[in-house]
Structures are given as C-alpha cells and as structure tokens.
C-alpha cells in the first residue's frame, strides 16, 4: 500500500454535496461531520474522489432517464492513413455521443465548483460506450498513467462483472430492459417501456456498482456512504452481505461521515 493511499476517499452520491458545500445544508443533523471532512480535504489530510456516474447516469433527470438511456448510440469515427509500403491502414473508433447527455443542472454545477476548489477528482468508469457529460472538464478526471491503464481497466471490468454475477450493479437495469424490450430491440431500448420508478431504482443501482468498481480500480481506501442497502428489499451493492464480501475480497473500508471523522481524530 502506498504511503498516501489511506488519504484517498470515494464519496458516494448521498454525501459528496454535503461534504463540499456544508453551508448549503444548515439543518442537516450531521453537518458537524461534513464540516470536519471539508476541513480535512482543505488541509490535505484527505483526498477526495467521485464516481463519474454522479454526473452521467445520476445527473439525468429521473423522468428523462428511460428516454436518454434507450437512445444511446455511438459516434463512428473512421480514419485512413497511407503506410510506407503503399497500403492503407484504416482505424474505426466508436466514441460516446456527448450530445445525448443534457449536462449539469445549475444546482449540480454549483456543488461541482465547490468540489473542484477542494481538489476532488472524478473517476471515469471505462465501460464500452459509456455516457459522457459535456459539462465535465477534462482536467477534473483522474487518469491512470500509461503503465497502469491496462490494470485499471481490467480491475474495473472484473469488479463490475463480479457484482453483476451476484445480481446487483448493472445487471438489474439490463434485466429490466430485457423484460420490457420489444422484438428486435436491444435492452436499453426496453427501458423506454419500463415503469419510470423501476428505471430510477435500476439506474441508481447501476451507478452504485460502477462507483464501487471505480473505487477498487483506482486503489482508494475509504468509501464514504450513508447507503445501507435497504431500499424496499431490492438487491443492492450495499446490502450487508455484499458489503461483507467487498470488504473481504477487495479490502474496501466502508464508513459513514461520522465514522470517517472518528478515524481521522
């Protein structure tokens, strides 16, 4: 473990805004803990990271998620180059279409500005055809160096796949899409026919799975969340059983804001 690894904290979607903008939540009963964590970030005792799913999957308004996800498509970029021997080398690149994403709301942008001031970085989730939020500056992303990029991508894919095998993470939204897709459709298109409440829960679970996979792939230490995996009995990445497995298999240290403060004292 690197000397500074214990400083790296992944902040879940249910805590990060309160951490970076504690004054915006004056009535929160745990505000004292958010202010302490804010201070730890300011003075460099902690380094914060956020999953890009906060700004991609979860940033899409809930009533628009079905339509946006069902409209997913690629930009196809074809490049040709002449080789020295006279042959032609053709490269075909499938890139995400940033025009699909509506971007950040003013509310989200304000908190993101506060996060940037504290030095928080955004962890990309390397999925094939992943959504890209056009409002996220490239400088905010943390990118592995060239010597470790293969390991990063392999680890992310492995953790995400294992979560899906356990029936959580992205597997739930894919199963939902398959249940409602018409003949000749693919599963994202089926989401447009599914109940919006079900899509909301499934997309949130997908985001949770990818945030955990990103946490492991980037070698972060603490995962700060309030999620107890008790949403109406639905399968969850954060169920007690899955948390125990993740702690054992990948040494993830799940903490609440209060617990993080206690560990820092």
What six digits make up the tokens of 239? 């169920």
pLDDT of residue 76: 39
**Segment 46-65 mean pLDDT:** 81
Q: Write the DSSP assignment of 24-45 as a string of letters.
A: G-TT-TTHHHHHHHHHHHHTTS
Residue 93: inside a domain: no
Half-sphere exposure for 161 (CA within 13 Å, toward CB):
8
Residue 219: inside a domain: yes
Structure-model confidence comparison of residues 80 and 126, the more confident one:
126
Residue 236: inside a domain: yes
Residue 197: inside a domain: yes
pLDDT of residue 253: 96
pLDDT of residue 221: 95
Residue 90: inside a domain: no
How many H-runs (helices) and E-runs (strands) does the chain carry? 10, 7
Question: Angle, nearest 10°, between helix axes 170-180 and 149-165?
Answer: 60
* Domain around 199: 5-71+102-264
**Largest pairwise CA distance in the chain:** 71
Q: CA-to-CA distance for 159 and 163, rounded, in angstroms? A: 6
Residue 26: inside a domain: yes
pLDDT of residue 261: 97
Q: In what order do the strands lie in the sheet with 253-255?
A: 121-123, 47-51, 8-11, 222-224, 253-255
Residue 123: inside a domain: yes
pLDDT of residue 14: 94
Q: How many domains does the chain have?
A: 1
Residue 107: inside a domain: yes
């Amino acid at each position: 473990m690197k000397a500074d690894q214990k400083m790296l904290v992944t902040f879940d979607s249910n805590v990060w805004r309160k951490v970076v903008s504690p004054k915006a939540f004056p009535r929160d009963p745990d505000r004292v803990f958010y202010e302490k964590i804010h201070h730890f970030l300011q003075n460099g005792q902690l380094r914060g990271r956020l999953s890009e799913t906060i700004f991609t999957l979860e940033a899409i308004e809930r009533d628009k998620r079905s339509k946006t996800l069902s409209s997913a498509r690629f930009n196809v970029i074809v490049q040709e180059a002449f080789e020295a021997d006279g042959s032609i080398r053709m490269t075909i690149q499938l890139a995400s279409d940033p025009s699909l994403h509506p971007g950040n709301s003013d509310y989200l942008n304000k908190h993101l500005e506060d996060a940037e001031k504290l030095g928080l970085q955004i962890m990309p989730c390397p999925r094939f055809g992943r959504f890209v939020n056009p409002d996220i500056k490239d400088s905010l992303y943390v990118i592995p160096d060239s010597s470790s990029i293969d390991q990063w991508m392999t680890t992310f894919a492995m953790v995400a796949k294992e979560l899906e095998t356990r029936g959580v993470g992205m597997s739930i939204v894919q199963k939902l899409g398959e249940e409602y897709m018409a003949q000749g459709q693919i599963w994202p298109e089926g989401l447009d026919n599914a109940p919006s409440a079900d899509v909301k829960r499934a997309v949130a679970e997908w985001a949770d799975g990818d945030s955990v996979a990103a946490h492991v792939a980037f070698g972060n230490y603490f995962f700060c969340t309030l999620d107890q995996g008790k949403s109406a009995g639905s399968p969850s990445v954060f169920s007690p059983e899955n948390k125990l497995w993740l702690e054992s298999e990948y040494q993830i240290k799940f903490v609440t804001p209060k617990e993080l403060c206690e560990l820092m004292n």
